[in-house]
Structure 1
Amino acid sequence: MMFKVACFFLSVAFVVGNIQITVHDCGSKDARINSIRVEQCEKEPCVVHKGANYTVQVDFTTTRNINEAHNVLHGGLGFLQVPFPLTPENACNKSVTCPMIAGNTYIYRQTMTCPSFAPSLKVTARWELKDEHGADIFCFATGLSIIS
């Protein structure tokens, strides 16, 4: 009985700290985004604490064969887009399995740390997975509120 109660509370904690965000597609060319989840996020826009880790998980289906995938992230205020380097840059090394076959569904998973030097403000994050030619496999945008 105690085990069942513990499992219930663990599942509730997981649901509260892991929401599915609204997809704001910003130019996906070679994939259809099925869902996006952000761990450590309780509501939209996600409140991001400086120095904390955040994990993004994208469930997507490819529309063509893809050999390489590269992580690209920008934070933006209006027309100003500031690149944010993700490690590793080559998403095939950790975030997703490559090569990807047309029609198959994949899970992309990437963890990043909000830099402690980031200003406290509301930004739009533009997250892209690009192929070997620099074309978007998928692209989505979401609002973030960066705080101390």
Structure 2
Amino acid sequence: MAQIQITGCGPRQRRCIFVKGRDANMSLPFTPAVQVTAVTAKVTGIVAFIHVPFDLPNNNGCINSGLTCPLQPQQSVTYTASLPVKSSYPSVAVTVQWELLDQNNNRLVCIKFPVQLQ
């Protein structure tokens, strides 16, 4: 997998810093193994083993996300998205799980990364 870029994340940081009231942006390159006709993004925050879904303004990975569906097998693509970090979120440490699912609800990509909301 090529390099993932996420707002607030750096090579020397233990946790990514997401600032409340701002968007966190992500660029996620991947290569599907099979043809993919639909992509759905799912983002979950994990705090103390509790999974809390994050609302994405657009969870359709085929629209305004850098992808053009159908995706062809063995061709590299890059998914891009913005996650609004709401001011109402508590200032806590959380693990973010970001998944891309295909038309059959199978995982194309799943990444987890530590975040500090502030």
2:39 alignment partner, one of 69, 72, 85: 69
Q: Which residue of the partner structure matches residue 6 of structure 2?
A: 38
Q: Distance in 2 between matches of 1:63 and 1:35?
A: 18
Structure 2, gaps ≥5 residues long = none
39 and 47 in structure 1: CA distance in 2 versus 1, 3 angstrom threshold:
closer
Say what the alpha-carbon RMSD is for the aligned residues. Answer: 1.2
Structure with larger Rg:
1
Gap runs ≥5 in structure 1: 1-32
Query: Taking structure 1 as the reference length, what is the TM-score of the superposition?
Result: 0.73
Q: Following TM superposition, by how much is the alpha carbon of 1:79 offset from its aligned partner in structure 2, in angstroms? A: 2.1
Match of 2:88 in 1: 117
Q: Which structure is higher in helix share?
A: 1
Q: How far apart, CA to CA, are the structure 1 residues paired with 2:104 and 2:49? A: 24
Is the 2:22–2:85 Cα contact (8 Å) retained in structure 1? yes
Which residue of structure 1 lines up, in the alignment, with residue 113 of structure 2? 142
Q: CA deviation at 1:41?
A: 3.4
Q: Aligned partners of 1:133 and 1:53: how far apart in 2?
A: 29
Structure 1 segments (4+ residues) deviating >2 Å = 39-44
Using structure 2 for the length normalisation, give the TM-score. 0.91
- Percent identity of the aligned residues? 26
Of residues 87, 102, 110, the one that matches 1:131 is 102
Could you tell me whether the CA contact under 8 Å between 1:34 and 1:61 is conserved in 2?
A: no
In the TM superposition, residue 78 of structure 1 has moved relative to its aligned partner by 3.4
Paired letter, 1:37: Q
SS in 2 for 1:62: coil
- Structure-1 separation of matches of 2:7 and 2:116: 15
Does the residue aligned with 2:62 lie in a helix, a strand or coil? helix
- Superposition deviation, residue 40 in structure 1: 4.1
Aligned pairs, how many? 115
Matched-pair contact (CA < 8 Å) for 2:6–2:26: yes
